[in-house]
Copies of this chain bind each other. A is one copy, B any other.
Amino acid sequence: MIRSLDELRARLREFTEVRDWSRFHSPKNLSMALIAEAAELVEHFQWRSETESGQLSPEERAAVELEMADVLLYLAQLADRLDVDLLAAAERKMALNEAKYPAASNRGAAPRKPG
């Protein structure tokens, strides 16, 4: 069982090396594969209303979960390739977001989400 992003990275690295695919996995190419997977996720939702996008049938849900997995697989491979600690980067970004959008001044204030 994969219990952490670190384990996922190690599993993906082995998967890639055994197939001799490392030579295809430049950061440039991985970013392309990542956005292609993100688009497959978007495709599931493009003709649904916002409400319907939260009401997936079991089959649709299973498909959406695999698209989300694909995004994570390429993000983890990019992180491995560039040696990025994803959770640490996420924490840094959240701190920036907290400074940019202070809680008090935003609550209920905006009819529209900023950014």
List A residues at the B interface (Cβ < 8 Å). Answer: 1-5, 8, 11-12, 15, 18-21, 24, 26-29, 31-36, 38-54, 56, 61, 64-66, 68-73, 75-76, 78-79, 81-82, 84, 86-94, 96-98, 101, 103, 106-108, 112-113, 115
Distance, CA A79 to CA B4, complexed state (A): 15
Q: A42: which B residues are within 8 A, CB to CB? A: 31-32, 35-36, 39
In contact, A69 and B86 (Cβ under 8 angstroms)? yes
Question: Could you list 11 A-B pairs, sorted by A, with CB under 8 Å?
Answer: A3-B87, A18-B103, A19-B101, A19-B107, A21-B113, A24-B47, A31-B42, A31-B53, A35-B41, A49-B50, A68-B89
Q: A31 and B41 in contact (CB under 8 A), knowing A2-B87, A53-B26?
A: yes
Q: A93 and B113 in contact (CB under 8 A), knowing A68-B84, A87-B3, A107-B19?
A: no
Interchain CB contact (< 8 A) of A34 among B8, B41, B51, B103: B41
